[in-house]
Amino acid sequence: MNYDILLSFVLATSVLAISPGPDNIYVLMQSLANGKKYGLATVAGLISGCLVHTALVAFGVSAIIKENDSLFFAIKLFGALYLFYLAFKVFKSSSKLDLSSDTIPEKSLGELFKQGFIMNVLNPKVSIFFLAFFPAFLFSDSVSEVIQFFVLGLLFMATSFVIFSLIAFLSGSISEYIKKQSNVGLFLKWLQIIVFVGIGVFILISEN
Separation between Cα atoms, residue 143 and residue 29, nearest integer Å:
41
Higher pLDDT: 100 or 42? It is: 42
Average pLDDT over residues 40-63: 89
pLDDT in tens, 67-93: 777 777 887 888 788 888 888 988 887
pLDDT interval class at 98 (50, 70, 90): low
> Within the chain, how many helices (H) and strands (E) appear?
9, 0
83: Cβ–Cβ under 8 A, 6 or more apart, which residues? 132, 133, 196, 197, 199, 200, 203
Three-class secondary structure of residue 189 per DSSP: helix
pLDDT in tens, 167-201: 888 887 777 776 677 677 777 778 778 878 888 88
Separation between Cα atoms, residue 122 and residue 125, nearest integer Å:
9
Strands (E) across the chain are located at: none
**Looking at residue 99, what is its pLDDT?**
56
Q: Is 56 exposed, middle or buried (0-12, 13-18, 19+ CB in 10 A)?
A: middle
**Looking at residue 207, what is its pLDDT?**
63
**Looking at residue 104, what is its pLDDT?**
60
Q: Do residues 116 and 107 make contact, with C-beta atoms less than 8 angstroms apart?
A: no
pLDDT in tens, 116-168: 899 888 887 888 888 888 888 888 888 888 999 999 999 999 999 999 999 88
DSSP string for residues in 78-113: HHHHHHHHHHHHHHHS-------PPPPPP--HHHHH
**Looking at residue 148, what is its pLDDT?**
92
**Looking at residue 33, what is its pLDDT?**
76
202: Cβ–Cβ under 8 A, 6 or more apart, which residues? 8, 136
pLDDT interval class at 7 (50, 70, 90): very high
Q: How many CB atoms lie within 10 A of CB 66?
A: 12
Nearest Cα residue to 127 out of 51, 69, 30: 51
pLDDT in tens, 13-46: 998 888 777 788 888 888 887 788 888 999 999 9
- One-letter amino acid of 141: D
**Looking at residue 161, what is its pLDDT?**
95
**Looking at residue 182, what is its pLDDT?**
67
Distance of CA 17 to the CA centre of its chain: 6
Separation between Cα atoms, residue 88 and residue 82, nearest integer Å:
10
Three-class secondary structure of residue 206 per DSSP: coil
Nearest Cα residue to 148 out of 25, 58, 73: 58
